[in-house]
Structure 1
Amino acid sequence: MRMNSLQMQAFGPFPGAQAVDFDELGADGLFLISGPTGAGKTTILDALAFGLYGTVPGARSDAEDYRSHYADPDTPTYVEVEFTAQARRWRVRRSPRYMRPKKRGTGMTEAKATAELSVFNPESGHWDGIGRTVSEVQAEINRVLGLKAAQFMQIVLLPQGEFARFLRADPIEREPILRRLFNTEHFTDLESILEARARQARAALDAVSQERQTLMRQAQGSCGEDLPIPTAAHPSVADVDAVLGAAVSVVRERIDVFTEVLQSARTRSADAEAAADAAAARQADREKLTQLRSRQEAYATSADERARLSQLQRQAIKAESVAPYGREADRAVREQEAAEKHHTAALTAFSTELSALPRQPETTSAEHIVQAAGDGQRAAASIATHLTRVADLTRERTDLQQKQTAAAGRVAELEEKAAAQDAALDELNARLETRSDVQREYDRLLRALEAAAIRQQRGDEITAAEQQRDKQQEALKDRQAEESAAKDTYARIRSTRLAGIAAELAAELTSGHACSVCGATEHPAPAKPTDDTVTKSDEDAALNAWTQAQNATNTARSTLAESRARITALTRSLDELAGEDAAVSLAELTQARDTAAQTLRELDQARRERDELQQKRVALEQQQASAREDAQTSATQLSAVGGQLKQLDDVVSGDQAAALHPFGFETPDTSAAAEECAAQLQRLRNAGETLIQAQTKREDTAAESAERRDAFETALTEAGFTDRNDYQEARQIDKTGVDSALRAAADEAARIAELTSQDWYSPACADTASDEELIDSVAVTAEQRTTAASDAEHLGQLLAVHRHDAADLVQLRERFLHTAAEVEAEVAQRRGDVALDGIVRATSADNLHRLPLSSYALLSLFVEVAHNASERLQTMSGGRFTLIHDLSLHRREKRAGLGLQVLDTFTDEPRDPRSLSGGETFMASLALALGLADTVAAAAGGIRLDSLFIDEGFGSLDPDALAQVLEVLDELRAGGRCVGVISHVQSMLQSIPQQLRIERSPTGSTITHRSSPGG
C-alpha cells in the first residue's frame, strides 16, 4: 500500500486548497515535513487518516472539528487521497460534517458527512465509481487496505509520543492496545463461540438426562407400580431400558387378569339383556291388545253412519254423469251472447270507416265493398312506393351532378399539380448532375489533408529528433571528458604502481619462504610502502574504469549517429510528401474539405428529395386516373337515373289511379298522401272482413245453443232427477270426503282382521297377569340389564386403557432404543465441546499454562514484535541496546508475558524502559513502532506497506544517534518504502533533500514543496 497524493481544502489550519504529490515528494524514498510549531505538520497525517477512515489519530479525534477556522464560509471542506493497493490506483474523497451558509435565506445549516470512492480503469482512462455512501466506502477501504483505522494509525502513521508511552507502559496497559492492533477479536470471538457451544452442550446433556428421567417416571406412572429408578444424575441407556422393560411386564400381567374378568361380565350382561327384552315384549303385547279392543268397539258403533255415506255416494255419482251435458249447455249460451256483442261492435266499426270516406260507394254489400277496398289499398301502396323511389332518384340525380362537377375540378387541380412537380424534378436533376465532380474534389481534399497531417507529424518528429540529437551531443562531450579523465587516472596509477613495485613484492614476502626476486629465505630489510602506494587491484580498478568510460563514449557516439541518421531519414520522407497542396495550410485544406462535405450533404439531400418527389409523381398519376374514372362514372350514373325517373312518371299516371276513384280519392302527388290513402282503405277492408266473420259466428252459435239445451234436459230425465234443483243439490255433495270416509272404514275393518290373525294375539289374550305386574317386571329386568352392561363396559374401558398403556410403553421403549445410539454419539460430542471450551478458555486443568487462546495468540505476536524491534534498535544504538521479552509476572497482572526490558551491553544488565534517556527512549520507541508495524502487516495477511510517516522525536538525539537512526530510515527506503519524517531539527533539514515546508501566517497555513541542497 502506497500513498500517491493528497488534496485538501478548508481542513485544519489550511483555509484554501492544498495539494501534496507523494510520488514526486518520495522519489528518493525519504522526505521531510518541516515547519514551525502549530503550523500544521501533523495535520498532513490527520488528513490522510481522515480521508481513508473518517477520523484522526489520538485525542484529536474526539473534537470532530475538522473544518478550518480560517476558511471562507462558502468554501467547502474536503480531503481527497489517492493511493495504490492490490496493484490498482484508488481515489477517496471525503467531507466532514460542518456548518455552511444556507442556499436560500440567511443563517447556517449543517452539511452532512459524505464519502466517495473510485478506482482507475486503465483501459478506459477513467475513474469508475465504487461507493457513494460513508458505510459503502469504509467497508471497501477496509477490504482493500486490509487494515482498520487503529492499525493504520499505529503502523503507517507513527504519532507523537504514543510509542514512547507504549514502551514505558505496564504490561497490563499494553494488552488492550495490542488486542486492538492485532485484531485478536477473532480469537476472543472463537472463545465466545466455544463458550456458547459448551453452554449449549451442557444444556443438551442436561436435557438428555432430564428426558431419560422423565421417561422412567412416565413408565412408572403408566404401570402404577413403585419401580426401582436409578439415582444417577446422568442415567445410562441400560438404566432406562431396565425400567421401561419392567413397566411393560407389569402392565402385560395386569392385562391378562382383566381379560378373564371382562369375559364373565359380558356373559352376565347378555343374560340380563334377554330377560329385559322378554318382559318388554309381554308389556308391548298387552298394550296392543288393549288398543285393538278399543278399535273393535268403535267400528261396531259406526254402522248407521256408513249406510248414510253410501246413499250420498250414489247420488253424487248420478250427478257426475249428468254434469258434462250441463256444462256444454252453459258454454253454448255464453258463446251465443259473445257472438251477438261482437257482431254489434263490428257493424259499428264498419259504419264508422264508411263515413270517413270522401264519397260513399254505390253498393251496400259488405263483400263488394271489401273487395273494392282491397284493390284500392294495393293501388295506393304501389303509388306510394313509386313516389318514394322518384324522390330518392331525384336526390341521387342532384348528388351525381355535384360529384360530376367536383370530379371535373379535381382533374383540373391534379393536372396543375403534376405540371409543378415536373418542373421541380427538372430542377433537382440539373443540380444532381454536378455531384460526381464535387465527390472527386472531396476525395482529393481528403488525400491532401492526410498528406498534410503526415507532413506536420514528420516536422514534429524532426524537431524532437534534433532536440534529442543536441542532448546526445552534449552527452558525448561529457563521456569523452570522462574517458580522458579515466585514461589520465589509469596512466597515473600505473606509473605510481611501477614505481612502488618493490614495496608490493615485499608485502608478499613470508618468513621461511624464498623471495621471488633473489631467492633468499630471510628478509632482513623489506621495502616499505609509501603513502601513495597503489596495488594491483587499484590498477585493475582504474583500467576497468577507463574501459567502462571508453564503452560509454562509444555508446554515446553510436546513439548520436543513430539520431543523425533518423533526422536524415525523416527529412527525406518529408521532402517526398511535397505535392501540389504542399503550400496550402492545414486549416485551409480543412475548410475546403468541410465545404465540399457540406455540398455533398446538400446534394444527397437533393437526391432524396428527387426520389421522394418521383414517388409522389407516380402517386399523382394514379390519382389523376382515379379522378378521370370518377368523372366518367358520375356521368354514366346520371344518365341511368334520368331514364328511371321517366319510367316512374308513366307508371304513377296510369291505371293504378283509377282504383281509387270509387271511394272519392284523387290521384296522390306525394308518397305520404298515397300511404295515408292506402292505410284508410286497409282499415275499411279490415272492418268489412271483421263484420262478415261476426255475422257468420252469430248464426252458428244460436243453432248450437238450442241443440245443447235439448241434450241436457234429456240427460236429467234419464238420471232420475225430477228437475234442475234436484240435480243442483246432488252436485253440492262432497263426494271426495264421502269416498275418503268410506275407504277409511273399510281400511279399519281390514286392519282389525289382520291384527287378530297375528302370532301375538292368542298369547296376549291368554296372559292373566295384571298390568301392574307387567310394569314391575319390565322395570326390574331393565335395571338388571343396565347394571350388567355398565359393569362390562367399565371393565372393557379399563382393559383398553391397560392395553393402550402397554402399547405406549412398548413404543416408548422401541423409540428410545432406536435413537439411543445417535443420542449417545451426540452426548459424546457435547462432552467434547465442554472439554474443548475448558482448554481454550483456561477453565480446565488440561490447560497447563492457564492461558486462554486469545492471550496465547497475543503473547506469540508480542514475541515477534520484540524480536523485530530488537533488530532495529541494535542498528540504531550501534549494537548497545537490545529489546528483550519479559515473562515475569508484574503487579496487578493475572498473567505474565507482555513485559519489555532493554538489555544494555555496556553493563550486561536488563533495564526498565522508563530508565532510558530521552534520545534512548526515542530510538527504542521508533524501533518498537517499526517492529510492531512489520508484525501487524504480516499478521494482516502479508500486507506490503510502502508508505511510512514518523512524527517528531528526533530532537532528542545526539548527532551520532541521529545518524544511526537515519541509517535505519535509509534501510527502510532501500526496501522500497517511502518514508516521511516530521521534524524541525536543523541537521535533518540539511540531511534530507526532499522537503514539504509548512508556512504559518495570520490567515492560515500553506504547503510548499522544496528541494534542499543538503546531504
Structure 2
Amino acid sequence: MKILAIRLENLTSLAGSQELDFTAAPLRDAGLFAITGSTGAGKSTLLDALCLALYGNTPRLRGARQDQARVPDSGDTDVTSFDPRTLLRRGTSQGHAEVDFLGRDGRRYRARWAVRRARGKPNGRLQGAEQSLTDLDDDRLLTAQKNEFKDLLPERLGLNFDQFTRAVMLAQSEFAAFLKADDNARSELLEKLTDTAEYSQLSIAAFQRAKAANQAVAELNTHLADDLPAEPEARAELERSVDAAERELDARLQEAKRLEARQQWHSADERLNAAYQEGRQQQQEAESRWQALDPARADQEWRRLIAPKRHRLARQAELPSEINRLEKALANTRKAREDAQAAQQSAAQEHAKAQQALTAASQARKDAEPALRQAREQAQRRDSLAQRLADIETSHEQYQRQANQIDEAQRKAEAQQQEHRRRRDEWQAKLRELMGEHSQLSDARQAAQQAHDRASKRQLSLSTLHSRWQEHLQAVDTQQSLVKRLESDEARKAQLMEKGKAARQRLDERHQHYTSVQAFIERSRAVRSESVIKLREQLQEDEPCPVCGGQDHPWRHQPPETPEAAQLAAQQADEDRQLSEAQSDWEQAQQARDELLGQYRALESSLEQQRRDLQAAEQRLTSAQKALAEQPLSAELDAIDAAEREAWLSQQRQQNDSDRQHHEQALEALTRAETELAPLQEALRQDELTLTQLDTQRKSVETELQALSERLPPLKQERDEVARELNQRLGEHDSADAWQQQLDNRQANAQQALNSALAALHEAERRQGELTQQERHEAAQLKRLEEERAPLERELQEWRQANPALDDDTLARLLAQPEDEAHRQERDIREAEQALQRSDASLNERRQALLAHRRGQALVDETGAEDNDSVSDDRLSDGLLNNALLSDDTETEIQQRKAKLADELTELAPKRESAQQHRDDAVHALRDDDRRRARQQAAQAELDAARAEQQRWGRISALIGSADGKAFRRIAQAYNLELLLDHANAHLHNLAPRYRLRRGGSPLGLLVEDHDMADEQRSVHSLSGGETFLVSLALALGLASMASGELAIESLFIDEGFGSLDPQSLALAMEALDGLQAQGRRVGVISHIQEMHERIPVQIQVNPLGNGASRLTLVGD
C-alpha cells in the first residue's frame, strides 16, 4: 500500500484547491519529508484529508464524544460536532478530499470524498457527503455509492479505518506514555492501541454473571421458604370440605332446576296467551276492514256492466271538446294566413330599398380610391421621418447616460486611488517602524528569526528541565508511596494468616460433621429396613402413623415391593434435609477458606510485585537525579531553593514563551506588512491605467453627442411639413385607413341590409304557403268529427234506457275513475277477504295451543266438566272445559301461582349463592395448595439448576472475572504485549541493534536488554530521550505490522513526538527515520522543531495567508 497523491479543496484552514503529488519531484525522490507550519496553520488537516478521502471520517472526529453539543450551521440549522462535514471551510459552497493510492493488487486507484452546500451558495444547507472510487489504470468508476464504497475500499486498499490509523498514522506519542505506565494503565493503553476491549468486557461480564447467579440462588431459597404447601392433615381437611360443599351445591341446584321448569311454564303461558289475544285483535280488525269495503264491492259490479260500452262512452265525452278545439284552431289559422300575406308585401318593399342603398355605397367607395392612395403615401413618409428622429434621440440619450457613467466611474477611481495611496503610506510607515535600525527588510526578518530561534531553543531546554524535575519529584513520591503500601500490606498479610488458620479449623469441623451425619443416616436406613414390616402390621384405621403421623395408610393392605421403598417414602425428606444442611455448611466453610486463600495468594503476589516496584522506583529515582544533573540549565535550577524551583521554572517558561511569542508576532507583522504592500502597489498602478482609459472613453462619447445634435433640426422641419399636408387631405378622418374603413363599413352594411331583406321576403312567402295548407287540413278534420257524433249519440241513448238504475253521476264517476284506482279497489277487496280467512285460522290455531298448554295443570275441575249429566254431547263438554281454561278465574289462579313461584326463587337464590361460594372457596383453597406443591417442585428443580450455574460461573469468575475488567484484560493484554514485542523487536533490530525489549518485573512489565552491556536488563524508565523515542517508534511500527499483517506499508506519517528531545536524542531519532526510509518507506513527519526542519531538506510548508487561510508550499533541493 502506497500513497501517490493527496488533493483537497476548502477544508478548514486550507483554502482553495491544493495538491501534493508524491510521484513528482521533489516528493518522488524524498524518502523523508517534513510537514511544517505554525500552530493552527493546518498541518494536521493534511492527515484529516487523507482519512476523509479514504474513509469519510478522521481519528479526531471519531474519537469525539457522541453526546457533545451541536454546531450551528447556515440559517437555523445545526450539525453534530463530530460530523465530518464540519471540516468544510466557512464561507465556501463546496469542498473535497482526494487520494490516489497503490492498492494491494498493484493497481492505482483514486478515492474521493466531497461535500457541498445547497444551490451552490456559501450560506446554503449542508448536503450529504459523496464518496467515489475510480480505477485509474482503466479510467473506470468502480462505485459512487457510499455503502458500496465502505465495502470496496478496504478490499482494494488492504486496510480498514482502525488498521489504517494504526499502520499508516503511527501513534508514537501514545507509546511514549505506554512505556512509563504501570501494569494497569499499560493494559488499558494496550487495549486501546490494539482495539481489543472485548477482553475487559468479558471479564466484567463474567463477574456480573457470577454475581447474578449468586443472587438468583438467594432469591430462589427465599422464594421456597415463603411458599410452603399445606401439611397432610390440613390437606385432608381441604379435600373433605370440597366434598361436603359439592354435595350441598348439588342439592341447591336440583331445587333450582325444578323451580326453573315451573318458571318456564309460566313464561310459555304468557307468550301463548299474548299470541291468543293478538289473534283475536287481528280477527276483529280483518272483519271491520271487510265491512268497510261494501261500497267498493258495489262499484265492482257496475264496472263489470260498463266494461263493454266503456270505449264508446269515453268517445262520446271526448267529441265536443275536440270539435270546439278544431273550430278555434281553424279561425286562428285563417287570421295567421292573412297576416303572413301582408308581411310578404312589406318584405318586397324593403328589398327594393336595400338594393338602391348598396349601389350608392359601391359608387362612393370607387370615387375615393385615388385620394386614399395619396394619403397613405404621405402617412408612410411621415412615419419614416418620425422613426429616424426617434432613433437619433435614443442614441443621443444612450451616449449621454454613458458620459454620466464615465464621470461617475472617474470619481470612484480617483477616490479609490486616494484610498490605496493612504493605505500604502500607512503600511510603509509600519514597515519602517518594524525594521527599526535595519535598512533592509531581509536583515530585519533574519534578526527576528534568530531571536525567535534562541527563545525556542531556551523554551525547549526549560521544558526538558521541567520534565526531568517532574520525573524526579514523581520518583520521590512513588518511592515513598511504595514504602508505605508495602508496610500496610505486610500487616494485612499477618492478619490473613490468622484468619486462614481459623477458616481451616472450621472447615475440618464442618467436614467431620457432614461425615458423621452421612454415616448416621446410612445406619438408620439399614435398621429401619428390618423393622418397617412390623410397624406396618400395627397400623390402625383412623389412627396416626407412629412414623410420619399421617391418617391415611395406603400401604397397609397393599405393601410396597420392598421395605426400603416404604422407609424412604416415610423419612427421606428429613434425612435429605439434614444431609443437605451439613453439606451446605461444609461447602460454605470451604468457600470461606478458598476466598481467604485467594486473598492471601493475591496479596503475596502483590507484595512481591511491590518489592520489585520499590526496587525499580529507587532505580528510577537515581536515574532521575542523574538526568536532572545532566541538563544544561541545571546549574541555574540548583541556585534556586528547592521549595521555589517549581515556581521558578513556571516563571522562566512563561517569560521565555512570552519572548518567543513576541518575536513570532514580529515575524508575522513583517510578513503581513510585506504581503499587504505588494497588492497595494499593484492596485495603484491599476488605478492609474483605469483613469487613463476612462478619459479616452469620455472624449469619444462627447464627439458622438455633437454629431447627433447637428442632425436633429432639419429632420424635424421635414416631418412637420409632411404632417400638415396629410391633415389637409384627410379632413375630418383620423387616417387614410380610418377613411377607407368608413367607406368599407358603409358598403358592407348596405350589402348586409340587402341580404336581410331578401331572407325576410323568402320567409314570408314560405309562411304564407304553410298556413294555407294548414287551413285546408283543419277544415277537413272538423267535417269528419261532425259526421261521427250523430250515430254515436243514438247508440248510447238506447243502452242507457236498458239500464235505468245507473244514474249519470255514478256513470260519470266510474268513467272518470283512473284505471290504477280501479285495480287498487279490486286488490283491496281480495286482500280483505284473504286477511279475514287467515285471521280466523290463526285465532283458532292460537286458541288450541293455549288450551293444550293449560290442560293437565289442575287449573279447573276437568273431571267435573267431563261428567256433567246436563250435557250429553262430548263436543259440548269440551267447549265448556275450554271456556273454563280461558276464563278470568283461570287467569287469576295462574297469576297467584306465578307470584308464589317468584317468592320461592327469591328465597332459594341466596342459599344457592352461599353454597356456590362455599364450594368455590373450598376448591380454590385445594387448588391453591396444588399450585404451591407444583411451584415447590418446579422451584426446587430451578434451584438445582441455579446452583449448578452458580458453581460454573463462580469458577469462571474466579479465573477471569473482576468488576472493572482488569483481571482478564491483564491476561489477554499480556499475550498482546508478547506479540507486540515480537514485531517491535524486529523493527528495533533495524533501527538500533543494540537494544531488545522483553517482558519482566511484572505480568505487563517491560525491560530493555542492552547487547553492548552483556545483555544487561534495564528499566524502561532509565532510557534517555533518544532511546525512548527509538523504543516507542519501534513499538509503533510493531503495532503497524500487527494491524497490516502481510500487507507492505510504504507510506508512514508521524504526528509530533519530537518536542522533548535534546540535540543528541534528536540526532538519534533522525538516524532512526533515515533507517525507515532506507527500508523503502516514505515517511512524513509533522513537527514544530526547527532543528528537524534544518535536517530534512524536503518540506511541505503550511503558510498562513491571513483571515484564517493557509497555503501549501513544496520546498526541496
Normalization by structure 1: what TM-score? 0.41
- Bigger CA radius of gyration: 1
